Amino acid sequence: MPGIYDICVQDHFAAAHSLRGYDGNCSNLHGHNWVIEAHIRCTKLNQLGMGIDFRDVKGVVKDVLSKLDHTNLNEVAEFGSINPTAENLAKFLYSELSRRLNTEFIKVQKIMVFESPGCGSSYQEI
């Protein structure tokens, strides 16, 4: 039976945000040390026994996160008209990482974004 590998890479970034229209203090500018987890589905291993090298994933993740790190997320173009919630960040990262990593045998499966330990959201497409 064909198997599926789930390759997982975590990273983090620091950024501020405020939630427009939120009834509470999250509408004030405040910061989080965001933690992200990228899950990549691989159906074939290379000659080294890897679905995809962690290093390759980490490089792409770092590059995408560099657009968000030490910013006010509300000022990043993608969040100019939608709130920079964990949900919207997960979808943004899913789309950026899919564009750069997906191949015939490799597919970004799920992105998890944690605002704080124990509070997060994930995005995936069926």
Ligand X SMILES: Nc1nc2c(c(=O)[nH]1)N=C([C@H](O)[C@H](O)COP(=O)(O)OP(=O)(O)OP(=O)(O)O)CN2
* Site size with ligand X, rule: CB under 6 A: 10
Q: Could you confirm whether 39 is annotated as catalytic?
A: no
109 is written with which tokens? 């499966």
Neighbours of 2 (CB within 10 A): 5
32 is in an annotated binding site: yes
Nearest to 102 by CA among 66, 60, 50: 60
* Catalytically annotated residue among 39, 78, 87, 115: 115
Q: How far is the CB of 121 from ligand X (least distance, A)?
A: 6
Sign of CA dihedral 9, 92, 87, 44: negative
* Residues in contact with ligand X by the rule CB under 6 A: 19, 26, 30, 85-87, 115-116, 119, 121
Please list the active-site residues: 26, 70, 115
In the annotated binding site for Zn(2+), the residues are 17, 30, 32
